[in-house]
Structure 1
Amino acid sequence: MPQFDPSSFPSQFFWLAITIVALYFVMTRMAIPRLASVLEQREKMIDDDLEQAEKLKAETEAAIAAYEAALAEARTKAHDEIKAVTEAAAKEAEAKNAEVSERVAKQIKDGEDRIAKSRDEALSHVREIAATAATDMVAKLAGLSLDDAKVGDAVASAMKD
């Protein structure tokens, strides 16, 4: 093999050196700058994507916060409306209860008045009936005729006792 012949080593080293220098210049002048520009372009694109992702994340968080605030406000408003409706219903029920209680109290008073009137009327008739019955009994039993005024007074005094 001619590469291993020591007499050709200097020419091999010379061409090796020229090839390495040429390869070095080609790499530094063409390949590495292209790779660097591609890497720089990719890095810029990645940074832009990350920046856009951060903006979108901030917008999403703001939208979520606005949604949660609107939801909390809606809940508060719903609770207030429920409370207002409940209070209105309670007031209406209380007013109807008062109206019914008033009507029932009036009916009870009217009933009591009618009962008292009937009782007074019955008591006045009881006195009359008792006086008539006493007069008739004395007339039938004793055969006496009594004065209606005296019998009325006697019945009245007996009823007081």
Structure 2
Amino acid sequence: MVTQAYAQEAETPAAEHAVDAAHGTDAAHGDPTADTHATTEAHGGDHGSGVFPPFDPATFPSQLVWLAITFAALYVLLSKVALPRIGGILENRKALIDADLAAADADRQKTDAAIAAYEKALADAKSNAQGIANQTRDAIQADLAVKRTAVEADLSAKVTAAEARIAQTKAEALTHVDEIAAETAQAVVGQIVGDVSADSVRAAVAKVKG
């Protein structure tokens, strides 16, 4: 009796497992998504194993495809939109820089020309000033020479006239010396010895002079 009861209890779980398996098979045939759920559960079991999806070798092909698509999209975007805009900006900046450089070079050339003109004008002014100074000096020297010649001629004429007057005065004085000497001697002798004739006094003066 005990053995028979134990056998019945052992058969009961096996029968329950068989019934569950039959229900699972029927459910699989009755539900088309059963395989999908099973696959998902299988992958979920794999993912649950600790592998990071991007590092999963099973996803490499899809990752490469998306990488190629993304790279192509970025290339088209850059080549059609970004790079032309950047190129246009660079061209505009280059044009502005070239224009600024050209303007600076033109200003430099104008400055050099102005400096050259100023230096030439300064050199011409110095040359003209030197020429004017030389002309003024020559004119002054010529005027001084003329005036000196005139003064020298005037002085020479005055000296000649003075010498002539002196000679004339001397000659006139010499002509009166005898008379003055005779009169002086007559006066002196008259004071000493008394009256003396003028002829005797002149004769005595002429004798002394001769």
TM-score bucket of the superposed structures, by smaller chain: 0.7 to 0.9
Moved more, 44-53 or 17-26: 44-53
Whether contact under 8 Å (1:135, 1:146) holds in the other structure is yes
TM-score (norm 1): 0.77
What does residue 174 of structure 2 align with? 123
Q: State the distance in 2 between where 1:119 and 1:54 align.
A: 94
What does residue 85 of structure 1 align with? 136
Cα offset, 1:19, TM superposition: 0.6
1:101 pairs with one of 142, 145, 152: 152
Unaligned 5+ runs, structure 2: 1-51
Which amino acid in the other structure matches residue 203 of structure 2?
Answer: V
Taking structure 1 as reference, are residues 11 and 99 closer, same or farther at Cα in structure 2, changes over 3 Å only? Answer: same
Q: State the distance in 2 between where 1:40 and 1:4 align.
A: 45
Q: Are 2:113 and 1:69 aligned?
A: no
Taking structure 1 as reference, are residues 8 and 120 closer, same or farther at Cα in structure 2, changes over 3 Å only? Answer: same
Whether contact under 8 Å (1:3, 1:9) holds in the other structure is yes
Q: Are 2:49 and 1:7 aligned?
A: no
2:89 pairs with one of 17, 21, 38: 38
Show the 5 A alignment for 1:16-55.
16-55=67-106
Q: Are 2:128 and 1:57 aligned?
A: no
Cα offset, 1:107, TM superposition: 2.3
What does residue 203 of structure 2 align with? 151
Instruction: After superposition, give the CA deviation of every residue in 1:23-55 in whole Å (9 maximum; x if it has no partner).
Output: 111111111111111111211222222222222
Which amino acid in the other structure matches residue 56 of structure 1?
Answer: D
Q: State the distance in 1 between where 2:161 and 2:196 align.
A: 46
Unaligned 5+ runs, structure 1: none
Moved more, 52-61 or 117-126: 52-61
Between the aligned residues of both structures, percent identity stands at 38
Cα offset, 1:158, TM superposition: 6.8
Name the structure, 1 or 2, with higher relative contact order (CA <8 Å, separation 6+). Answer: 1
TM-score (norm 2): 0.61
Whether contact under 8 Å (1:138, 1:144) holds in the other structure is yes
Q: CA RMSD in A?
A: 2.9
Q: State the distance in 1 between where 2:150 and 2:126 align.
A: 36
Greater C-alpha Rg:
2
